[in-house]
């Protein structure tokens, strides 16, 4: 009976959503896929990089000091135009990891029932280094190519996970990771506060932004992305180690 | 003049630092709370841009009279709670710092997506704080409902963003009239449902009973005062300033908030445990504040929120403290408790009286004002319902007080409450303030207006 009511409720809700979302009438309706007028929304100016009124077109490796200076559009929105949100998202991850740590943290490491075999151990030695380097590459080049702090950080954590799976004895130094996590987070905020003192705005991009497309460009964007990458990497690694720690010990 | 962003940035910075310097975490918590407390009073009416990108493209923080009032109340009750129950902080100081930052952010932000981010942070730190008494079932309930609520809010926001393409509150307010009615109905229903979870409105408040009913001295004050103040004020900001509700939608939302008020009072009447009674009473007070906000009486709603958070911070902290000290909060087992702990009882009683709205107390003034204002707007059913619910409220609170003050003859409770000096101190200080504003209600209304208009002028 309960299930029947649940199915019925979902059906009614679906009908409610569908009829209202795709109704015709006065005023702006929900746009169909691909029929959005980009020029009417705020993202238009993010894409063209003319929030502050510059109207020149942005050319790769030529244009200097185009607003945020990052070649990757998503990065310039995430870490520059709406950097405050990213700071918030970093905090979301931070506090979630903290909660897991408070609830699950144990002293000793959980042992697997079947010990990892030799092939796994040898393969991880080879693969983990590549994964680590790729992760670091992804967050250092976050302002040039797709990627950034969050995916880069998760890659680093996946390498740590491989270490955990392949070695019964492996245990990260949680203290060091906590230190890294705290440092990266505080440095993000300190850079924000530096922007406040130097430019008058919190999280202001106060470093010269350079030529679009070069590694040393985009001002504080790559620096912040490195902090985010380190922070996410160490947080997720901590999360793995918390989940693999034995309860009550 | 202080930059409002510091109220968010400093606690957050200290939260990150407290992970590194484990031993100094309580000191960092104290400094951050003092900083925020002083900072809230130093705020001036202003709008701050973040990152140098002008709104609607960048994110802005809005410190207007509404949010400054909220910030002052929020930071005061936060500080009171934490200092009155400092021994319960233990490992939770980082979480408290994050929640302080996010609650300040909720009240300050002028961007709808940024609001979602702070909502997430606040609710996640809320989940963690609710595990303090190790009753995980309630927390699990809260997590499921809270996650659903914030996702519904996000879904509503996505619909709005896809339709008009903006996230800034002020910009959204100008573009709302352009949106098709059906789309707006859908989006607002989702946003309302999302906020109703945190604002504790029926039928989205299933988590309250188990979370509020199992708090200790610290989390009780934080939830019932700081969290509820922030969330109900944000609710008010969204549904009075950003979106103008159509008549039908307003009636539906009003029905929900009035029903919340009545059902919660009726449910509180049934309960036997102090914290459960207070939990349902919190739901009811939130319903009353939401009703006032939806009617558009922002000032009265603010007074109601002040009254509720001052009273609840005392009552919940004491109830949590009693639970910690005696292991129970059942009314029948605590007969005559206040006879032994006179000071504890004094603060608790004053707060309860003010919350019920007995004459000469501040709550009376607030209730009369709200009833007459709603009647003046031509609605007679709602005031009658509010009066009816207030009657139930009065009955169960007075029944509770009578039980707590009167020992059954010959029977000694046998429960020792020794570590209660700080709770008594909190109760007496807040109680004295409540009595002061009861005798002199202009202190809040006019004082607030004078204070706010004074700070509005000079930049």
Tell me the three state secondary structure of residue A206.
coil
Tokens describing residue B351: 């707060």
Residue ranges of B 60-89 with Cβ closer than 8 A to chain A: none
Mutate to test the interface with B, among A5, A25, A28 (most CBs of B within 10 A): A28
CA-based nearest distance B127→chain A, Å = 8
Q: Answer yes or no: do B183 and A95 touch at CB < 8 A.
A: no
Chain A environment of B12 (Cβ under 8 Å): 87, 91, 189
Summarize pLDDT for B386-427 with one digit per residue, the tens.
888 888 988 988 888 888 888 765 555 555 656 678 888 888
Summarize pLDDT for B214-264 with one digit per residue, the tens.
888 888 889 988 999 999 999 998 988 888 888 888 899 999 999 998 899
Summarize pLDDT for A183-220 with one digit per residue, the tens.
888 998 898 888 888 888 888 888 878 788 777 777 88
Is the pLDDT at B450 greater than 70, yes or no?
no
Task: Give residue B123's pLDDT.
Answer: 92
Helix A149-166, helix A220-243: angle, nearest 10:
30
Q: Answer yes or no: do A205 and B162 touch at CB < 8 A.
A: no
Average pLDDT, rounded, for chain A? 84
Going by C-beta distance under 8 Å and a sequence separation of 6 or more, which residues neighbour residue B59?
A82, A84, A85, B49, B50, B51, B53, B109, B110, B111, B114
CA-based nearest distance A138→chain B, Å = 24
Q: Answer yes or no: do B52 and A20 touch at CB < 8 A.
A: no
Task: Give residue B122's pLDDT.
Answer: 93
Is the pLDDT at A249 greater than 60, yes or no?
no
Gap between the Cα atoms of A20 and B308, Å rounded = 38
Residue B261 CB neighbour total at 10 angstroms: 28
Tell me the three state secondary structure of residue B109.
strand
Q: Is A5 on the interface with B (CB under 8 A)?
A: no
**DSSP codes, B179-225:** B-HHHHHHHHHHHHHHHHHHHT-TTS-TTHHHHHTT--HHHHHIIII
Summarize pLDDT for A82-141 with one digit per residue, the tens.
888 999 999 999 999 889 888 887 777 777 788 888 888 889 989 999 999 999 999 888
Q: Is B177 on the interface with A (CB under 8 A)?
A: yes
Task: Give residue B144's pLDDT.
Answer: 92
CB-facing half-sphere around the CA of B329: CA atoms within 13 A: 24
Mutate to test the interface with A, among B180, B181, B219 (most CBs of A within 10 A): B180
Instruction: Express as a percent the part of chain B with pLDDT over 70.
Output: 95
Q: Answer yes or no: do B20 and A98 touch at CB < 8 A.
A: no
Is the pLDDT at B99 greater than 90, yes or no?
yes
ipTM of the complex: 0.90
Task: Give residue B412's pLDDT.
Answer: 52
Q: Answer yes or no: do B58 and A81 touch at CB < 8 A.
A: yes
Q: What's the mean pLDDT in B156-168?
A: 89
Q: What are phi and psi of A28, to 5 degrees?
A: -75, 130
Tell me the three state secondary structure of residue B176.
helix
Is the pLDDT at A62 greater than 50, yes or no?
yes
Q: Is A192 on the interface with B (CB under 8 A)?
A: yes
Q: Answer yes or no: do B180 and A88 touch at CB < 8 A.
A: no
Average pLDDT, rounded, for chain B? 86
CA-based nearest distance B379→chain A, Å = 31
Mutate to test the interface with B, among A70, A85, A177, A180 (most CBs of B within 10 A): A85
A:B CB pairs within 8 Å: 177
């Amino acid at each position: 009976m309960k299930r029947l009511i649940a199915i019925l409720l979902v059906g009614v809700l679906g009908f409610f959503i569908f009829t209202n979302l795709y109704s015709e009438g006065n005023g702006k309706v929900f746009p169909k896929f691909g029929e959005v007028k980009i020029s009417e929304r705020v993202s238009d100016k993010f894409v063209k990089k003319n929030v502050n009124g510059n109207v020149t077109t942005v050319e790769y490796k030529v244009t200097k000091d185009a607003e945020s200076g990052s070649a990757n559009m998503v990065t310039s929105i995430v870490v520059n135009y709406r950097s405050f949100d990213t700071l918030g998202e970093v905090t979301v991850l931070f506090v979630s990891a903290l909660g897991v740590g408070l609830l699950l943290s144990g002293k000793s490491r959980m042992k697997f029932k079947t010990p990892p075999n030799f092939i796994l151990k040898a393969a991880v030695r080879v693969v983990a280094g590549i994964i680590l380097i790729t992760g670091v590459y992804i967050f250092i080049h976050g302002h040039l190519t797709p990627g950034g702090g969050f995916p880069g950080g998760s890659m680093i954590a996946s390498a740590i996970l491989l270490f955990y799976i392949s070695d019964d004895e492996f245990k990260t130094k949680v203290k060091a990771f906590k230190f890294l996590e705290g440092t990266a987070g505080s440095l993000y905020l300190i850079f924000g506060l530096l922007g406040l003192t130097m430019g008058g705005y919190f999280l202001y991009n106060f470093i010269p932004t350079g030529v679009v497309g070069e590694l040393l460009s985009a001002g504080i964007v790559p620096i912040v992305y490195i902090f985010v990458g380190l922070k996410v990497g160490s947080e997720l690694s901590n999360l793995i180690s918390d989940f693999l720690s034995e309860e009550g010990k | 003049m202080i930059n409002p962003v510091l109220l968010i940035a400093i606690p957050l910075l200290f939260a990150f630092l407290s992970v590194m310097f484990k031993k100094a975490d309580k000191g960092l918590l104290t400094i951050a709370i003092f900083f925020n407390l002083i900072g809230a009073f130093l705020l001036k009416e202003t709008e701050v841009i973040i990152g140098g990108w002008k709104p609607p493209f960048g994110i802005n923080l809005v410190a207007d009279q509404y949010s400054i009032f909220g910030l002052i109340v929020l930071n005061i009750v936060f500080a009171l709670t934490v200092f009155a129950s400092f021994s319960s902080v233990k490992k939770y100081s980082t979480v408290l710092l994050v929640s302080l930052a996010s609650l300040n952010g909720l009240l300050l932000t002028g961007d709808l997506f940024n609001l979602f981010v702070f909502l997430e942070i606040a609710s996640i730190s809320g989940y963690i704080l609710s595990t303090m008494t190790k009753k995980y079932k309630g927390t699990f309930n809260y997590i499921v409902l809270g996650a659903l609520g914030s996702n519904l809010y996000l879904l509503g926001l996505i619909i709005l963003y896809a339709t008009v393409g903006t996230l800034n509150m002020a910009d959204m307010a100008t573009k709302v009239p352009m949106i098709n009615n059906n789309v707006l109905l859908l989006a607002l229903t989702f946003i309302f449902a999302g906020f109703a979870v945190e604002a504790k409105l029926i039928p989205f408040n299933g988590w309250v009973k188990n979370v509020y009913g199992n708090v200790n001295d610290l989390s009780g004050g934080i939830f019932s005062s700081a969290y509820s103040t922030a969330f109900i004020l944000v609710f008010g900001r969204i549904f009075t300033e950003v979106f103008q509700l159509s008549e039908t939608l307003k009636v539906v939302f009003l029905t929900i908030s009035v029903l919340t008020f009545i059902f919660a009072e009726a449910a509180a009447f049934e309960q036997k445990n102090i914290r459960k009674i207070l939990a349902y009473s919190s739901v009811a007070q939130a319903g009353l504040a939401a009703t006032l906000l939806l009617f558009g009486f922002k000032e009265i709603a603010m007074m109601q929120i002040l009254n509720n958070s001052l009273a609840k911070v005392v009552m919940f902290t004491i109830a949590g403290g009693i639970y910690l000290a005696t292991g129970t909060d059942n009314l029948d087992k605590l007969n005559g408790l206040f006879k032994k702990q006179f000071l504890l009882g004094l603060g608790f009683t004053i707060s309860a009286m003010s919350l019920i709205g007995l004459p000469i107390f501040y709550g009376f003034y607030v209730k009369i004002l709200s009833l007459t204002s709603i009647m003046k707007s031509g609605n007679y059913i709602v005031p009658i319902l509010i009066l009816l619910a207030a009657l139930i409220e009065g009955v169960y609170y007075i029944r509770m007080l009578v039980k707590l003050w009167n020992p059954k003859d010959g029977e000694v409770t046998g429960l020792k409450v020794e570590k209660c000096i700080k709770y008594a101190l909190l109760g007496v200080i807040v109680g004295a303030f409540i009595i002061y504003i009861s005798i002199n209600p202009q202190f809040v209304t006019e004082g607030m207006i004078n204070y706010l208009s004074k700070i509005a002028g000079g930049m």
